[in-house]
């Protein structure tokens, strides 16, 4: 059996039929399913990603079979330290690294046959996305809900960044036990 040909046949069919794209005018009950976005900072997806995606896919397929109009988008958490560190390690610009990684991740995810609506991909590094984060921040600032002050922080010299309290274990960076 030639599994690659079978895989390509069905993926092409699903894409041609727009099987998992949402019809916004549908009279069906609506169901929104959003899984945790992967960080496009590695060589590709791992089994932990696949597990998370399959769990969401099973739920999406169940809801589709139950007659729901299911919106199941995918996105990539492309801002932040994991992507930046991966780009530095690769010796390339973070935006170039991230875009290449996202393209590779999408190829891998499509091969899994997950029920994502690929017309609605979210990239947190896209100005069309993060402009809304900035807008919300400015609204909070206008209402004095945001402030600046000096404060002690957890710092990892190897990660070269501030750490959340949850990333500190026994007074050390959770990634580097030899740091303070």
pLDDT tens-digit series, residues 16-59: 999 899 988 889 999 999 999 998 887 889 999 999 999 999 99
Statement: 22-148 belongs to CATH 3.40.50.620: yes
Q: Is the pLDDT of residue 150 over 80?
A: yes
Helices (H), the chain: 3-17, 47-65, 81-90, 94-112, 127-142
pLDDT for 88 equals: 86
The band of 180, judged by pLDDT with boundaries at 50, 70 and 90, is low
Mean pLDDT on 161-171? 89
Beta strands 69-71 and 30-32: pairing type?
Answer: parallel
pTM over cut 0.75: yes
Q: Tell me how far apart the alpha carbons of residues 35 and 57 are, in angstroms, rounded to a whole number.
A: 10
Domains of the chain, residue spans:
22-148, 149-180
pLDDT for 79 equals: 87
Q: Is 31 helix (H, G, I), strand (E, B) or coil?
A: strand
Cα 152 from chain centre: 30
């Amino acid at each position: 059996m030639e599994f690659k040909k079978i895989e390509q046949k069905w993926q092409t069919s699903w894409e041609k039929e727009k099987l998992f794209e949402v019809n916004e005018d549908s009279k069906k009950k609506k169901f929104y399913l959003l899984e945790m976005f992967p960080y496009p900072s590695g060589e590709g997806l791992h089994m932990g990603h696949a597990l998370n995606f399959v769990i969401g896919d099973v739920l999406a397929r169940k809801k589709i079979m139950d007659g729901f109009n299911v919106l199941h988008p995918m996105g990539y958490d492309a801002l932040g330290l994991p992507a930046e560190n991966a780009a530095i390690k690769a010796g390339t610009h973070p935006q170039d690294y991230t875009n290449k990684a996202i393209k590779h991740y999408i190829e891998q995810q499509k091969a899994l046959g997950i029920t994502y609506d690929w017309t609605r991909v979210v990239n947190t590094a896209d100005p069309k996305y993060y402009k809304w984060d900035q807008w919300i921040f400015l609204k909070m600032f206008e209402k004095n809900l945001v402030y600046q002050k000096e404060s002690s922080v957890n710092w990892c010299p190897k990660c070269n960044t501030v750490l959340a309290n949850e990333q500190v274990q026994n007074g050390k960076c959770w990634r580097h036990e030899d740091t303070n």
